[in-house]
Structure 1
Amino acid sequence: MSVIYSTLTSILNKISDEFHESFLFSTIFSILRFVEKGWVNSYFKKLYPNENFLSFLNKNNILRNHIFNPLIVLFLFAIFLLLSMTAPSKSLVITLIVAFVAFFIGSTILPRYFLNDSAENILKFEKRDIYSIGFCLTLVSIVFFFISIASVGGIPLLKPSIRYLLKPAFTMPVFLIIPATCLIASAYLKDFQDGKIARSQARFRFLFLLLIDCAFLLILGYRTPLLAAFLIIIIIGFYGNIISLWEVAVGAAIGVGAIIGIGYFRSVGEMTITSSTNPFYTLQSRADFTLHVLNLLDFIGGDFGVTHGQVLLSSIPGSELGPRMMIGKLIAWRTEVTITPTLIGQMVADFGKVGVAVQMLILGLTLGIGFKLMQKTKDFFYIGIYSLILTYSILGIETGILDIQVLLYFAIAIFIYLINLVKVKN
């Protein structure tokens, strides 16, 4: 396995070096260094609030040390359920209790029995390799972005109706900009940790990465991937001491505002609501509809499920129906629509309450081990990979963890964590 990794990273390093040495990219990076220098030395930067702004937040131990603990998934899931105007059935209440208890055991109790020895045997990754992988993923994303725009003959942000003409085969590679952002930001964090760049330089580079994500993803009219990039930057920045706690709080408020605002204006543009409708209605209606879907799936799935893995397997490219289309077929016999089933929707449809217990336990344990490994090592890579899987766990509260690329991120994280568990044990 190490031979494959070494060969792959060697190729990607060469590709990255070739692009960086090209006239186009050397010019771009020269301009960015000039802008970065101007940013760092800017007089207006002094007007920005310092570390002590909203200092009362730092007095809260939970916020200061555990704001991105894996249990935030349960906290946000509970809030999402409370937003709904639909009451869960008695059976669904039991399913939710099973899900919450299993996740709590996996994320909080079981990790106590692992990684308690020295961190010397933890697998280490080279910063150059991580940066090159992220840079090459960005190149792939940019290429498919232009292919996606050309395929629909317009800009989905300006004409929302053509967003539904976008082909998944073209848009899925665009979303690689999310793990690319994670890896590049992690590499910048390593430079900051090693003293190669100042904190203000790291903050500028994080902001620039986020602006690139906004430019590409907003033009395509997608909000969930944009929120993913936003969350990743915040989590890496927070645990890397690049972003302050008050900035996390403000960023969370902006994120919630973006969810409400983008959903509201998209709904107005698609004429599903009028401009006089309460903007919060779009959020409540989404929660209401999604919980209604979950009620139906729980009824269908029962204790042992009905599809027995078919929903999860439908994530594989080439499947006749995607996982969210299969959910639509299950509850409404309509294969032309995609329906978000919440974090546990697929679990209960495939394997019932038993499946919910097992899969939520695995998800909790993955996040729990990742959180412990990150805190133990303070390593740039483990901060990055934890931010990636936690981000998609949070977003999966509504959408489910069903996209093949997201499942691949979790598979890679689990594989790396397992290697570490074996190395530390030996």
Structure 2
Amino acid sequence: MSIIYSKLTSIINKISDGLHNSFLFTQIFSILGFIENQWVNSYFKKLYPNEEFLNFLNKSNILKNHLFHPLIVLLLFSFFLILSMNPPSKSLVITLLIGFITFFIGSTILPKYFLNNNIKLIEFDKKDIYSIGFCLILISIVFFIICIASIGGIPLLKPSIRYLLKPIFTMPVFLIIPGTCLVAGTYLKDFQMKNITRSQVRFRFLFLLAMNCALLLLLGYRTPLLAALLIIIIIGFYGNIVSLWEVIIGGLIGVGAIIGIGYFRSLGEMTITSSINPFYTLQSRADFTLHVLNLLDFVGGNFGLTHGKLLASSIPGSDLGPRMLVGKIIAWRTEVTVTPTLIGQMVVDFGKIGVAIEMCILGFILGIGFKIMQKSKNYFYIAIYSLILTYSILGIETGILDIQVLSYFAITIFIYLINIKKSKNN
């Protein structure tokens, strides 16, 4: 495995170095360097509130040290359920309790038995990680241009053409999110080594976020944009780059973006009128998703209906994607995609038993990641924890069903297991 990794990173490093040394990228990075210097030395930057702003927030140990603990998934899931205008069925309440309890066990109790002494972590070369992230971002930019050219317009300005986008072109665009995660992680490493100042790394984080906004917002996507925002916030928070009050403000901006984009997109598609409360789009979405979950819980029962077929439908080449399969299960309509929530796939595939096992596993992955991150303060492990926590939070509504997201979890699990085995042997 190490030989494959070495050869792969060698090729990627050569591509990255070649692009960085090209005339085009030399000029781009020269311009960005100039803008960064202007930012760092700007007089107006001094008007921005410092770290002591709203300092009373730092007195809370939970906010300061455990804000992005895995249990935030349960907290936000509960909030999402409360948003719904209709209550869950009694059977679904039991399913949710099973999922919440087993997630708590997996994220909070089980990690206590691992990585307690002599932790030996795999060390990844910063240059390799940067090159991989840089190449992923470039791929996403190329496919963004292809997407715009293929539909002949910008979906944000003309929402109706968004449905002309083809997954084969849009999926590579979403690679900007793990790419941003890895590149931001390497900037954090430079900051930790004092190669760049806090102002410089904050500027670079803002630039990465702006680039994500430019690509994802123009395509009319909300969830991936929120993913980029969450990743930047989590890495910045645990890397002492972003203050607690900025995290809270950033979270509010993220929620506002979801509501705002959804509201104006609904107006453009004429699914609502301007007289309707903007919060209605969020409430109706939660209500519909909970209704779907009620139906999935009914058909899933205790032992499931599809026995893994829903998860397997994430594999490219399947007749129906996972969310289309959900649409077929609950309404016999394969032309629509339906979000099943975090536990929807679990209960349809394997019932309440599946919810118990899969939620425990998910909790354990996040719990181990959080423990490694807190103990090591390593830039790479902060980055990958931010990636899997982000998609776990977003999966509260959408589920963890996209093949690229599943691959992020698979790679992360593999790395964590090697670290557990390596630490145990030492």
TM range (shorter): over 0.9
Aligned to 1:70: 70
Question: What letter corresponds to residue 378 of structure 2 in structure 1?
Answer: D
Matching residue of 1:134: 133
Query: How far apart are residue 167 of structure 1 and its match?
Result: 0.3
Displacement after TM superposition at 1:86 (Å): 1.2
Match of 1:53 in 2: 53
| Counterpart AA for 1:195 | K
1:262-308, Cα deviation, whole Å (9 max, x unpaired): 11111111111101100111110000000000000000000000000
User: Could you say what secondary structure the match of 2:400 adopts?
Assistant: coil
**What is the Cα deviation at residue 150 of structure 1?**
1.2
| Paired residue type of 2:294 | N
RMSD: 0.5
Residues 84-95 of structure 1 aligned to structure 2 (within 5 Å): 84-95=84-95
Number of residue-to-residue matches in the alignment: 425
**Residues of 2 paired with 1:86 and 1:351: CA distance?**
25
In structure 2, the residue matched to 1:235 is 234
For residues 232-255 of structure 1, the C-alpha deviation after alignment (integer angstroms, 9 at most, x for no partner) is 000000000000000001001111
1:108-187 paired onto structure 2 within 5 Å:
108-119=108-119, 121-187=120-186
Q: 1:297-376 alignment to 2 at 5 Å?
A: 297-376=296-375
Q: Specify the code of the residue in structure 2 equivalent to 1:112.
A: K
Q: State the alpha-carbon separation in 2 of the partners of residues 30 and 87 from structure 1.
A: 56
Q: CA deviation at 1:66?
A: 0.3
CA distance in 1, matches of 2:153, 2:250: 31
Measured against aligned partners, the alpha-carbon deviations of 1:15-69 in whole angstroms (never above 9, x if no partner) come to: 0000000000000000000000000000000000001111111011100000000
1:194 maps to 193
Matching residue of 1:102: 102
Q: What residue number does 1:82 align with? A: 82
- Deviation readout 1:348-392 (Å, 9 max, x if unpaired): 000000000010001000000000000010000000000000000
How do 1:280-299 and structure 2 match up within 5 A? Answer: 280-299=279-298
Distance 2:279 2:118 in 1: 49
Q: In the alignment, which residue of structure 2 is the partner of 1:271?
A: 270
Runs of 4+ in 1 over 2 A off after TM superposition: none
* CA displacement 1:122-156 (0-9 Å, x = unmatched): 11111100000000111111111111111111111
Q: Deviations over 1:92-151 (max 9, x none)?
A: 0000000000100000000000000123x2111111000000001111111111111111
Q: Which stretches in structure 1 are left out of the alignment for 5+ residues? A: none
Deviations 1:184-210 (A, max 9, x none): 000000000001000000000000000
Partner SS state of residue 395, structure 2: helix
In 2, distance between residues paired with 1:118 and 1:234? Answer: 30
Matched, 1:15 2:15: yes
Cα distance in 2 between the residues matched to 1:219 and 1:388: 22
Counterpart of 1:4 in structure 2 is: 4
- 1:207 is aligned to 2:200: no
Gaps of 5+ in 2: none
Q: CA deviation at 1:87?
A: 1.0
**Residue identity in the other structure for 1:254:** I
Amino acid paired to 1:6: S
1:408 matches 2:407: yes
Offset of 1:174 from its aligned partner? Answer: 0.4
Amino acid at match of 2:77: F
The CA distance in 2 between the partners of 1:254 and 1:143, in whole Å, is: 28
Deviates more, 1:377-386 or 1:134-143: 134-143
Q: Distance in 1 between matches of 2:347 and 2:384?
A: 27
Matches of 1:78 and 1:152, distance apart in 2:
39
Aligned counterparts of 2:149 and 2:346: Cα–Cα separation in 1:
37
After superposition, where does 1:376-387 map in structure 2 within 5 Å? Answer: 376-387=375-386
Q: Counterpart of 1:27 in structure 2: which amino acid?
A: Q
